[in-house]
Amino acid sequence: MNETLHIQQSHRSIRSYKTEPVGDEMLDAIIASAHRAPTSMNAQEISLVVVRDAERRARIAELAGGQTWISQAPVLIVIVADFHKTDLGVRKAGQTQIVHESMEGFGVAALDAGIALGAMITAAESLGLGVVPLGSIRRNPQGMIDLLGLPPLTFPLVGLALVHIKDDVPLKPRMDIETFRHDERYDASGYTAAIDNYDKTIMDYWTQLGRSDGLTWSGNLGNSYKAVYFPQVRPVAAMQGLLNDK
Ligand SMILES: Cc1cc2nc3c(=O)[nH]c(=O)nc-3n(C[C@H](O)[C@H](O)[C@H](O)COP(=O)(O)O)c2cc1C
């Protein structure tokens, strides 16, 4: 296995870290990897906001639901859907931008954000840093918009904490690869058995970590997927001029 594959296949989210800063050189290299990533139609409709200021990090931790460990990460990078940037180009071409009002637009920005997130994760882990992606920044998107000074036609999609690892963790097991990889045609026939099996595996993982609060995969998902867990996303996206049912 080459080094890149090894890094990707050793991924784990790190929530125990030292408070020492992440150097400029490392940060620049990580961001350059995301900047170089493929982007749908070469639209480049995402932007990053790098947050290092302690008070701003504390505010993000608060907006994310009081996860204080987020504020202790020395750098947070917020990936933003940026249809403000593309609107300038579309206007320059004498056209009116509509795509930001559509499911397609929101989806494509989320896709490009995911690609940038993945590129930064691999880059950071290749430098020996730990990471935690932060979907919880969408818990209070208006708060994030105000904090980061985001204009209309933009939306904070996901964050990434970059950290120096203190206590490492074993890899979190995944569901059987047959539930993930389908050859030629989709086949869900093994899902039920695989889910039963995975629920046991994940409970063993929590036991290994000494976590008595751990839930099964299905139990955890039942708790979060029974409702729209970040209900502010849609109304705030609409107020930003995005997602207008097209
Ligand atoms: C888009 C995305 C958003 C996430 N948001 C959060 C978050 O807000 N807080 C958190 O602690 N972990 C978050 N995670 C980390 C996941 O919980 C983690 O990736 C998953 O449990 C698998 O564990 P692993 O990364 O250690 O393999 C997020 C991961 C992704 C990909």
Distance between Cα 120 and ligand 1 center (Å): 14
Q: Is 39 in the pocket of ligand 1 (CB under 6 A)?
A: no
**Which residues neighbour 137 within 8 Å (Cβ) at sequence distance 6 or greater?**
60, 63, 64, 78, 144, 156, 158, 159
Q: Domains in the chain, please, with CATH?
A: 3-169+230-239 (3.40.109.10)
Q: Which has the minimum average pLDDT: 64-73, 113-122, 178-187? A: 64-73
Q: List pLDDT tens digits, range 79-117.
A: 999 999 999 999 999 999 999 999 999 999 999 999 999
Does residue 67 carry a pLDDT above 90?
no
- Residue in 60, 134, 209 to alter for ligand 1 test, most ligand atoms within 8 A of Cβ: 134
Ligand 1 centroid distance, CA of 178 (Å): 22
For the four alpha carbons of 198, 202, 203 and 205, in that order, the dihedral sign comes to positive
Tokens in use for 131? 């990471």
Q: What angle do CA 26, 24, 19 make, to 5 degrees?
A: 85
Q: Which pLDDT score is estimated for 216?
A: 98
Query: What's the 98 CA to ligand 1 centre distance in angstroms?
Result: 32
136 lines ligand 1 (CB under 6 A): yes
Give the atom of ligand 1 at the shortest distance from the alpha carbon of 64.
8
- Three-class secondary structure of residue 79 per DSSP: strand
Is the CB of 133 within 6 Å of ligand 1? yes
Q: Which two tokens mark 223?
A: 């708790």
Q: Is the pLDDT of residue 68 over 90?
A: no
Tell me how crowded residue 12 is: count the other CB atoms within 10 A of its CB: 15
pLDDT tens digits, one per residue of 139-177: 999 999 999 999 999 999 999 999 999 999 999 999 999
Interval 6-39: pLDDT, tens? 999 999 999 988 989 999 999 999 999 999 999 9
Q: What value does the mean pLDDT take over residues 202-212?
A: 96
Distance between Cα 72 and ligand 1 center (Å): 17
Q: How far apart are alpha carbons 138 and 236 in whole angstroms?
A: 10
